[in-house]
Amino acid sequence: MIFTSSWILPLFLSFGTSLFILYKYSTRKFDYWAKRGVYCPTPIPIFGNFISACFFRYTIGEWLKRIYDTVNAPYFGLFIFDEPILIMKSPELIKNIAIRDFAYFVDRTVACPMHDNIQSNMLFFQKTPVWRSDRVKLTPVFTSGKLKGMFPIVNSIGEDLVRYLSKHKEVLNAKEVCSKYSTDVSAKCFFGINSHCFDNDDATFRKIGFSIFHFNLRNAFVQMAYFFRPRWVDLFHLDFIPTTTREYFSEAVKNTIKEREKSKIRKNDFVDILKDLEESDGHVCSTDSASEKIIGQALQFYAAGFETTSSTIAFTLHELCLNPSIQNKLRNEVRTNIKENKGITYEGIQDMKYLSMCINETLRKYPVLPFLDRTCNEDYKVPETDFVIEKGTPVFIPIYGLQMDEKYFPSPAKYDPERFSNSKLNENGLIYMPFGDGPRSCIGERFGLMASKLALLHILLNFEVEKCDKTPNPVEFATKSFVLQSKIGLPMIFKKIVPNPA
Element (H, E) at 481: none
Q: 3-state class of 71 per DSSP?
A: coil
ω into 474 cis (within 30 of 0) = yes
ω into 242 cis (within 30 of 0) = no
* Residue boundaries of the structural domains of the chain: 135-368+433-496
Please tell me the predicted confidence (pLDDT) of residue 287: 41
Please state the pTM of the whole predicted model.
0.92
Give, for all 502 residues of the chain, the pLDDT tens digit: 444 556 787 777 788 888 888 888 889 999 999 999 999 999 999 999 999 998 889 999 999 999 999 999 999 999 999 999 999 999 999 999 999 999 999 999 999 999 999 999 999 999 999 999 989 888 888 889 889 988 999 999 999 999 999 999 899 999 999 999 999 998 888 877 888 899 988 888 787 777 777 767 788 889 889 999 999 999 999 999 888 888 888 888 888 888 877 887 777 677 777 777 666 665 554 444 457 888 888 888 888 878 899 999 999 999 999 999 999 999 999 999 999 999 999 999 999 999 999 999 999 999 989 999 999 999 999 999 999 999 999 999 999 999 999 999 999 999 999 999 987 889 889 999 999 999 999 999 999 999 999 999 999 999 999 999 999 999 999 988 888 999 999 999 999 998 765 4
Distance from C-alpha of 151 to C-alpha of 143, rounded to nearest angstrom: 12
Q: Which amino acid is residue 35, in one-letter code?
A: K
Please tell me the predicted confidence (pLDDT) of residue 317: 98
Torsion angle defined by CA atoms of residues 359, 362, 364 and 365, in that order, rounded to the nearest 10 degrees: 180
On whether the CB atoms of residues 346 and 151 are closer than 8 A, the answer is yes
Q: 3-state class of 146 per DSSP?
A: helix
Residue 70 neighbours by CB distance under 10 Å: 9
Helix axes 174-191, 144-167, angle to 10 degrees: 140
On whether the CB atoms of residues 437 and 98 are closer than 8 A, the answer is yes
Please tell me the predicted confidence (pLDDT) of residue 3: 46
Distance from C-alpha of 258 to C-alpha of 186, rounded to nearest angstrom: 19
Distance from C-alpha of 269 to C-alpha of 276, rounded to nearest angstrom: 11
On whether the CB atoms of residues 158 and 454 are closer than 8 A, the answer is yes
- CB under 8 A, 24+ apart: contacts of 327-335: 327/460, 327/464, 327/465, 329/354, 330/354, 330/355, 330/358, 330/456, 330/460, 331/460, 331/461, 334/457, 334/460, 334/461, 335/461
Distance from C-alpha of 199 to C-alpha of 206, rounded to nearest angstrom: 11
Distance from C-alpha of 161 to C-alpha of 185, rounded to nearest angstrom: 11
Instruction: At 118, give phi and psi (nearest 5°).
Output: -75, -50
| Helices and strands of the chain, counted as H and E runs | 21, 9
Distance from C-alpha of 63 to C-alpha of 51, rounded to nearest angstrom: 10
Label the pairing between strands 75-80 and 372-375.
unpaired
Sheet (strand 372-375) strand order: 75-80, 83-88, 394-397, 372-375
CATH architecture of 135-368+433-496: Orthogonal Bundle (1.10)
DSSP tag of 470? T
Q: 3-state class of 66 per DSSP?
A: helix
Nearest alpha-carbon partner for 121 in 361, 336, 327, 296 = 296
DSSP states of 286-305: -SS---HHHHHHHHHHHHHH
- CB under 8 A, 24+ apart: contacts of 166-170: 166/462, 166/496, 168/494, 169/496
